[in-house]
Amino acid sequence: MPITKSAKKALRQTLSRTDRNKNRKLVLRRAIRVVEKAALAKDTAALTPALSTAYKLADKAVKQQVIHKNKAAHIKSRLAKLAK
């Protein structure tokens, strides 16, 4: 456990950032699942907005440094291939 005041604050910051990043990843994974489900059901009406949302969340995750830009590119590429 941290001893100094600054170490205690650093621990609090780390825990809150970890929670925030886990939530962002979870939201992205859920969006990906929605796209996959719509693609497998061949539901084009639901697929287009779901794909757009997944792209947006992947780009935001990169901007917030939650995932690497190449991982986002990989996700987007895979979803586009699936939607096609």
Count Cβ atoms within 10 A of the Cβ of residue 35 and give its class: 0-12 exposed, 13-18 middle, 19 or more buried.
Answer: buried
Q: What would the pLDDT profile of 41-66 be if each residue is shown by its tens digit?
A: 998 899 999 999 999 999 999 999 99
Q: What percent of the chain is predicted at pLDDT more than 90? A: 92
What residue ranges in 8-72 does DSSP mark as E strands? none
Count Cβ atoms within 10 A of the Cβ of residue 79 and give its class: 0-12 exposed, 13-18 middle, 19 or more buried.
Answer: buried
Handedness of CA 46, 47, 51, 54 (dihedral sign): positive
pLDDT confidence of residue 43: 87
Q: pTM here? A: 0.85
In the 8-state DSSP scheme, what is residue 67? S
